[in-house]
């Protein structure tokens, strides 16, 4: 791939991009009368223009039908989550019965660990990547403690080699083998939030199963970003949020995956009425009869307002197709890496991208260690209308997302970065 550092080239790429029109389906925050350069779709995706109408439909149906909206609404609330299932299944590479939209991300991680982290005898450990998202660490440690274990001993992180920032798959597999029959669960992020490294979920799952452990993934940074094949990879369980790459709004409803081979097996779970067999739910019987699908893990009735926005957002993914999005994403992020290298040359600054160079080992995010510039540089680009994010201790994260970012965005970012670095000398 040969890129060029020019506005004309970036615009030509946009003109050739079959997905470019999706940009107009989103609201962009404004800075000095123009769209910001929005690179934080990995933190909170932009609002789809269809969201307001989808939400209004449910408010109107509530006004019109009251409780009867459960069955008489245009999209009946009783089965609302079912309308999301086919899109979610396509998005994560699952069978429809393996996925469900429910709860929030960390809640789902807990509910799924109830079924898939069941320490017995010496098999008690959870293996994760170095520096997982803090919420995941709290969830792992508290589950270990809940089962009477010692989080300091039983929560293990795979570390990078000396001088490196990211992990080698062979080191992950070696660690799994080393822990062997003391390992109960391997739970990684699909993409690490800090480094942007995408893990080989198929290889990790195989290695976990080979030593008798279960394998789960937190796909907060992978859903809507990578081309996932959860069913074929034999992953036991996964969960994700919908407000990052899936553009479904702050705190919107999350998702969960349970592999087909675990369905209908009456695994231990924390039950609620929405997990009960839907044909008999309103018989209000004492004995829990689980749904034969991932819906068995549902606890409460569907949060329809957030699901309405989620539905509008997922329609865009259905129209674009995750395979097409991923193909564009490799180009767009490759272009960003190229532009950053150019800025380094022109300004004589060392901008170390710690995200892997291999497109197979990353999604759209690049994480930059800005040696000697850090927070001050971040503040300057922010003043110029770049929305990126800063993660302690010293990383600037940028995520050009294929659904609404353009090659021109990336080119303009390079211009601003060059000016900010030049001004600081
Ligand atoms: C964003 C994120 C979370 C946030 O959890 P919520 O329950 O949605 O608040 C958790 N884990 C990871 C890996 C994340 O990236």
C-alpha to C-alpha distance for 38 and 405, rounded to whole angstroms: 7
> Could you report the per-residue pLDDT of 113-170, keeping only the tens digit for each?
999 999 999 999 999 999 999 999 999 999 999 999 999 999 999 999 999 999 999 9
255 touches 223 (CB < 8 A): yes
Q: Could you read off the pLDDT of 23-61 as tens digits, one per residue? A: 999 999 999 999 999 999 999 999 999 999 999 999 999
- Does one domain contain both 231 and 379? no
Mean pLDDT of the 172-176 span = 98
Gap between the Cα atoms of 91 and 113, Å rounded: 22
Enclosing domain of residue 366: 7-35+322-424
pLDDT in tens, 58-96: 999 999 999 999 999 999 999 999 999 999 999 999 999
The model's pTM is: 0.97
* Together in a domain, 396 and 294: no
49 lies in some domain: no
- pLDDT at 218 (0 to 100): 98
Q: Which of 286, 320, 354 is the last residue of a domain?
A: 320
Diameter over CA atoms, the chain: 73
Choose which residue among 105, 132, 138, 191 to substitute to test ligand 1 binding: the one with the highest number of ligand atoms within 8 A of its C-beta: 105
C-alpha to C-alpha distance for 191 and 194, rounded to whole angstroms: 9
Distance CA 310, CA 43 (A): 16
Would you state the pLDDT for residue 392? Answer: 80
Give the pLDDT band (50/70/90) at residue 337.
very high
- Let me know: does 395 contact 19? Beta carbons within 8 Å: no
Ligand 1: nearest atom to the Cα of 254: 8
Q: Is the pLDDT of residue 425 over 70?
A: no
**Pocket test residue of 220, 224, 253 for ligand 1, highest count of atoms within 8 A of CB:** 220
119 CB less than 6 Å from ligand 1? no
Ligand 1 atom nearest residue 105's Cα: 7
The CA distances from residue 143 to 116, 139, 215, 257, in Å, are 11, 6, 16, 19
Q: For residue 252, name the pLDDT band (cuts at 50, 70, 90).
A: very high
What is d(CA 306, CA 158) in angstroms, rounded to the nearest whole number? 36
Indicate whether 238 and 378 sit together in one domain.
no
Confidence of residue 417 (pLDDT cuts 50, 70, 90): very high
Atom of ligand 1 nearest to the CA of 189: 13
**Ligand 1 in contact with 105 (CB < 6 A)?**
yes
Mean pLDDT across 5-10: 98
Predicted confidence (pLDDT) at residue 20 exceeds the cutoff of 80: yes
Domain count, the chain: 2
User: Which domain-ending residue is among 320, 341, 360?
Assistant: 320
């Amino acid at each position: 791939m040969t890129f060029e550092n020019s506005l004309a080239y970036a615009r030509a790429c946009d003109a050739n991009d079959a997905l470019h029109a999706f940009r107009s389906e989103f609201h962009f925050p404004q800075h000095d009368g123009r769209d910001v350069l929005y690179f934080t779709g990995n933190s909170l995706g932009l609002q789809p223009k269809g969201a307001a109408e989808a939400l209004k439909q449910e408010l109107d149906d509530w006004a019109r039908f009251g409780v009867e909206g459960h069955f008489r609404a245009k999209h009946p609330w009783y089965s609302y989550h079912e309308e999301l299932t086919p899109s979610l299944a396509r998005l994560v590479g699952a069978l429809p019965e393996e996925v469900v939209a429910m709860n929030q991300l960390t809640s789902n991680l807990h509910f799924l660990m109830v079924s898939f982290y069941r320490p017995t005898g010496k098999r008690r450990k959870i293996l994760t990547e170095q520096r997982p998202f803090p919420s995941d660490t709290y969830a792992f440690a508290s589950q270990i403690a809940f089962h009477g274990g010692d989080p300091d001993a039983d929560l293990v992180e795979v570390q990078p080699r000396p001088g490196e920032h990211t992990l080698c798959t062979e080191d992950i597999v070696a660690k799994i083998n080393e822990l062997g029959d003391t390992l109960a669960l391997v739970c990684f992020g699909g993409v690490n939030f800090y480094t942007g490294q995408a893990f080989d979920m198929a290889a990790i799952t195989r290695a976990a199963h080979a030593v008798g452990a279960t394998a789960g993934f937190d796909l907060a940074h992978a859903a809507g970003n990578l081309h996932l094949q959860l069913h074929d990879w034999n992953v036991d369980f996964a969960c994700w949020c919908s407000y990052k790459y899936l553009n479904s709004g702050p705190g919107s409803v999350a998702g969960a995956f349970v592999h087909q081979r675990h369905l209908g097996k009456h695994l231990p779970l924390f039950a609620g009425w929405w997990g009960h067999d839907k044909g008999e739910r309103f018989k209000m019987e004492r004995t829990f009869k689980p749904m034969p699908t991932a819906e068995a893990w549902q606890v409460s009735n569907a949060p329809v307002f957030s699901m309405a926005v989620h539905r509008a957002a997922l329609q865009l993914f259905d129209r674009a197709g995750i395979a097409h999005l991923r193909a564009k994403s490799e180009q767009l992020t490759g272009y960003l890496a190229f532009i950053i290298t150019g800025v380094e040359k022109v300004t004589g600054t060392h901008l170390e991208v710690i995200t892997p160079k291999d497109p197979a080992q990353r999604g759209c995010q690049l994480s930059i260690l800005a040696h000697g510039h850090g927070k001050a540089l971040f503040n300057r680009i922010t003043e110029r209308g770049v929305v990126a994010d800063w993660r302690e201790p010293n990383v600037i994260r940028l995520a050009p997302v294929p659904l609404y970012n353009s090659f021109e965005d990336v080119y303009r970012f390079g211009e601003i970065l060059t000016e900010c670095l030049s001004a600081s000398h």
